Structure 1
Amino acid sequence: MYNVLIVDDEIMIKRSLTKLINESPYGFRVNGEAEDGREALRLWEQMKPDLIITDISMPVMDGLELIAEISKREEDKEIVILSGYDDFQYARQAMQYGVMDYVLKPVKQEQLDELLGKTAARLEYKKRTRQERGQRLWECRSVAALLAEHLWMVREPEALEVAADYQQQLLHRGLSVAKCSEQLEDVLAMAEAELIARSGGKLQELPKQRQPVSSADELLLRVRYTIAAFAGQVRLIRSWGQHQAIMKAVQYIGAHYTNERLSLSQAANEAGMSDSYFSRCFKEELGIGFTEYVIKLRMEKAKVLLEEPESKTYEVAHVVGYSDYPHFSKSFKKYFGVAPNDYKRRTTGK
C-alpha cells in the first residue's frame, strides 16, 4: 500500500481526489490532507508519503514553494501537480524540480488511474532498486570483511581465492566485466578501509586504477596486483609492530627477571599478545624461547655477582629470582658447566 498526501485549499477537490485514489486498483491510500504548503510540509515530515498530489495556487505557501522545499530535503520523490489551464505555465516551472506528472482539473478517473499506474511502476522499480542496492552492499561488506581478515593475517593466497571466487560469482550472474570491475573495486575499497583502521592508519591508501578493464583475465590480474600490494604493506606493518611489541616485553623482562613469579603470560600481556602468539613471535625475534631467555638473563647476572669478592652464593640466588638455592645451583651448573660455589672460588679465591 502506498501512502498519499493531498494538498489543496478546496475541500471538494480533496474529497473527490481521496475517493478516486482510494478506489484505484494500484494500491494507493490517502493518509493525509493539507490546505496549504506549510501544513503540507509539516505533514510530509511526519508521514514521508510515497506520493504527493498538490495544487499550485494556495495561500501561505504555494505549490511551487512546497515542491522547492521538499526538493532541498529529498531528491528521490514522487510529486504530481494539480493544474488548471490558467496556471499550466507554473506546472511547467515545477518540472525543473523533477516533477514528472501533472493532472488537469477537473480530475477524471481514467486520467488519474493512468497517472497512478505509472507512479506505482516507478515506486516499485525504486523499491526493487533499493533492495538490490542493499543486498549488493551487504554482499560487498561480507566479502570485504573476509578479504581484510585474510590480508591482516598475511594469508595472501586465501585472500586471492576469495576475490577470484567472488569475481566468478558475479560473471556467472551475467554481469558485464565493467560491472564486475565496479563491484570488485567497492569490495577492495571496503577491505582497504578495514585494513587502514586495523593498522591504526599506518597502511597507505593505494592509488586508484583509472583505466577500464576489457576482459575477466585483465580484471583478475588487477585484483592480484591490489591484493599483493595490500599484503606487502601488512607484512611490513605487522613485522614492525611485532618487533616493537617484543622489544617492549624484553624491557619488561629486564626489569622483572629478579621476580621468581615472572611468567610468559605477564610478558605476553605487556606485549598485547596471546600467550601462544607471543611465544612464537618472541622466538622469531630473539632466536631463543622465553624460558631460555629468562634463564640466560638470570645466569649471566648471577655470574657477574658471583665475581664480586663479598657476595654470597645464596644471596646471589635470591637476587636473580631463585628462592630455592638447590634449584639455582643446578641451573647454574647446567648453564656454565660448573657449580656456583666452585665458580666463585675460581674467580675470587673465596
Structure 2
Amino acid sequence: MLKVAIYDDEFIVIEGLRKMVDWSKYGMEVVGTAKDGNSALELFYTERPDIIFTDIRMPGIDGLELVSKVLKEAPETKCIVFSGFNEFEYVKKALKLGVLDYMQKPITIPMIEEALQKIVFQIKKDNEVTELRSRWDENRQELLEKATLELMLGNKEIEAKWRECFGEGEAGQIIGTTVIAYSGKSFPIDNNDDYKVVPVWNGSTHLLVFFHLKEKLELFSNQLIIWTEREEVTIGSGQTYERITDLTKSYREALHALRYGRFLDSKGWTRFEDVGTNDKIPENLSAQEEAVLFYMRTGDKEGLLDQLTKYIQWIDLKKLNPDIIESELLKLVYLGLEVVKETGEDIKQSGYYPQKEIREQTTKDEMIEWLFRQMEMMFDLINGSKKTNKHKAVEKAKKYIESHYNLDITLQEVANVVDMNPNYFSLLFKEEIGLTYIKYLTKYRMEQAKIMLKEGRKISDVSEEVGYLTYRHFSEVFKKYTGMTPKQYKIQND
C-alpha cells in the first residue's frame, strides 16, 4: 500500500479527506495527519509517506517550504498542494518545486480522485522508467563483464566494444590494470576515485579486474590487505600493467599465484611477485602443461602421474601427426628440465640428450612410456634435492629475514640470497618451516613489535621499525596477530 499524509490547519479538511475518499481503491492508506508545518515535517521523517497532500498556508513552516524540504530529502515523493487563495505566484513556486498538482479550495471529492488517478499513473510511469534503467544497467554490466573476460583471454577485437561498455570517458583515464583471482563467492570492494573494479567468472574461478585511475596504488593494496585479514579468503594477484591489451598477462599470473597460494597456505594474499617464476619457461603454456609443472614443483607424484595422463588425452584430442607429437612431448621434457634447474641441478651437464632419446622410440606408445619415465626421473631428482638443500637454505634465509625484517624485503630478494628460484624456494620454505615466507616474516615482525611496545616505545616508531609504511596497516596486522590493538597491548603491558 502507498502511504499518504495530509497536512492542513483546518480540522474539517483533514477529516473530510480522510473519511470521504476511498483510499484503498487506489492502493493507498492514510498514515498520518498534521495541523502545522513543524508537525508535518516530523511526521514525514517518521512515516516516510509516498504521497503528501498539504495546504500552503500553515502555522510554523508553510506548505511550500515543507515541500522543498521533503523533495530535497526524498525527490520521489508525490506532493499535491492546495490553497484558499487564487494566487499565481503560489502556483508558479509550487510547480517550480516539482509538485505533481495544485488545487484551489474548496476541494471536492472529484478533484481529489482526479489527482489520485494522476498520481497512480505517474507512479506507474516512474516504476517503468526505473525498471528499464535497472535492466539497462544490468545488461550493460553483464556486457562489460563478458567483454572484460574476452580481453583477458586475448581477444583484441573486443576492445572497442569493451570501451563502449566501460565508458569512453573513464576508459581514457585508465593508467593500469591488475587481475585478482580468489576463492570465495563475494568481495567487499567497491568502485571509488582510485579504481573501477569489474567482477568476472571464467567458468571455474572468480576474478576481479582492477582498472586503476590514479598512479598511487596504496588504496588498492590496503583494500586487499583488509579483505584477506578480515575474511577467510585466498587470493592471487597478477602484476599491474599499463596497457589494456596486457590484461591477459596479469590474468595468467593471477591464476598462477592463486594456485600456489592454495598449496602454500589455505588463506591470505599471494602475489605473483612473491611466488616467482622461471624466466626460461614460456608464458603461453597450456593449462595442461602448467599443471604438470605445478605437481613437479609441489612434490605431488600422484598428481603428476594423473596430470600426465590428462596431458596425453589432450594430445590425442588434437589429432596431431607423429612429428608434432614428438615435438610436444619433447617440449614438456625441456620444461621439466627447467624446473629441475630451479633446485640447482642440471641434468644436461651429465650428458643427457632427450632429443636423441625420443627419436629412438618408434611408436606413439613407446614415446608416451618414455615421457612418463623422464618426468618421474626428474620428479625424483627434484625431491632428492629438496632433502639435501632444504635445511641449509632455509636456515640461511631465516637469518637474512631476521636481520632485514625492518626493510621491505621481497621473496625474490631472499631467494637470491640462497641462490634459488623464488618459486622453488617458496615451496621449500613452507615445507620446512610450516609457514609461508610472508607469514613467517609477519610473525617475526609482530614478535619484535611486542618486545618494543613492552619497552615503552612509541607506536608510530615501532610501526616503522618493524617495516610497515603506514600505522593503519601495522595496527590491523598487529590486532589480527595478538587480538588487540598496539595501544591496548601497550597499556596492558605498562
Q: Per the shorter chain, which TM-score range?
A: 0.5 to 0.7
TM alignment of 1:86-165, pairs within 5 A: 89-156=89-156
Q: Give the C-alpha shift of residue 7 in structure 1.
A: 0.7
Partner of 1:299: 345
Q: Give the C-alpha shift of residue 55 in structure 1.
A: 0.7
The amino acid that maps onto 2:75 is E
Structure 1 residue 56 and structure 2 residue 56: aligned? yes
Q: Give the C-alpha shift of residue 63 in structure 1.
A: 0.8
> Relative to structure 1, is the Cα distance of residues 53 and 203 closer, same or farther in structure 2, using a 3 angstrom cutoff?
closer
Q: Partners in 2 of 1:83 and 1:110 — Cα distance?
A: 17
Q: Partners in 1 of 2:47 and 2:19 — Cα distance?
A: 20
Partner of 2:6: 6
Checking the alignment, whether the CA contact within 8 Å between 1:64 and 1:94 is kept in structure 2 is yes
TM alignment of 1:58-73, pairs within 5 A: 58-73=58-73
**Residue 49 of structure 1: SS of its match in structure 2?**
coil
Checking the alignment, whether the CA contact within 8 Å between 2:51 and 2:77 is kept in structure 1 is yes
Consecutive unaligned residues in structure 1, runs of 5 or more: 165-183, 205-228, 252-262, 269-275, 305-316, 324-350
Q: Partners in 1 of 2:384 and 2:111 — Cα distance?
A: 99
Q: Partners in 1 of 2:243 and 2:384 — Cα distance?
A: 49
Structure 1 residue 185 and structure 2 residue 164: aligned? yes
Q: Give the C-alpha shift of residue 113 in structure 1.
A: 1.6
**Residue 154 of structure 2: SS of its match in structure 1?**
coil
Q: Partners in 2 of 1:20 and 1:230 — Cα distance?
A: 68
Q: Give the C-alpha shift of residue 97 in structure 1.
A: 0.7
Q: Deviations over 1:9-40 (max 9, x none)?
A: 22111010112333584333322212222222
Partner of 2:245: 232
Q: Give the C-alpha shift of residue 194 in structure 1.
A: 3.8
Partner of 2:286: none
Checking the alignment, whether the CA contact within 8 Å between 2:52 and 2:80 is kept in structure 1 is yes
> Relative to structure 1, is the Cα distance of residues 30 and 20 closer, same or farther in structure 2, using a 3 angstrom cutoff?
same
Checking the alignment, whether the CA contact within 8 Å between 2:36 and 2:58 is kept in structure 1 is yes
**RMSD (Å), alpha carbons:** 4.8
Structure-2-length-normalised TM-score: 0.40
> Hey, which of these two has a bigger chunk of helix by percent?
1
**Residue 134 of structure 1: SS of its match in structure 2?**
helix
Q: Give the C-alpha shift of residue 250 in structure 1.
A: 4.3
Checking the alignment, whether the CA contact within 8 Å between 2:7 and 2:53 is kept in structure 1 is yes
Checking the alignment, whether the CA contact within 8 Å between 1:52 and 1:79 is kept in structure 2 is yes
> Relative to structure 1, is the Cα distance of residues 94 and 110 closer, same or farther in structure 2, using a 3 angstrom cutoff?
same
Q: Partners in 1 of 2:15 and 2:134 — Cα distance?
A: 38
Q: Deviations over 1:200-226 (max 9, x none)?
A: 44589xxxxxxxxxxxxxxxxxxxxxx
> Relative to structure 1, is the Cα distance of residues 111 and 319 closer, same or farther in structure 2, using a 3 angstrom cutoff?
closer
Partner of 2:265: none
Q: Partners in 2 of 1:102 and 1:25 — Cα distance?
A: 22
Which of 276, 293, 311 is equivalent to 1:248? 276
Partner of 1:81: 81
Q: Partners in 2 of 1:131 and 1:35 — Cα distance?
A: 37
Q: Which has the larger radius of gyration?
A: 1
Q: Partners in 1 of 2:337 and 2:34 — Cα distance?
A: 83
> Relative to structure 1, is the Cα distance of residues 150 and 194 closer, same or farther in structure 2, using a 3 angstrom cutoff?
farther
Q: Give the C-alpha shift of residue 233 in structure 1.
A: 4.0
**Residue 30 of structure 2: SS of its match in structure 1?**
strand
Q: Give the C-alpha shift of residue 135 in structure 1.
A: 2.0
* Aligned residues with identical type, % of pairs: 22
Q: Deviations over 1:216-250 (max 9, x none)?
A: xxxxxxxxxxxxx9862424655898897598244
**Residue 276 of structure 2: SS of its match in structure 1?**
helix
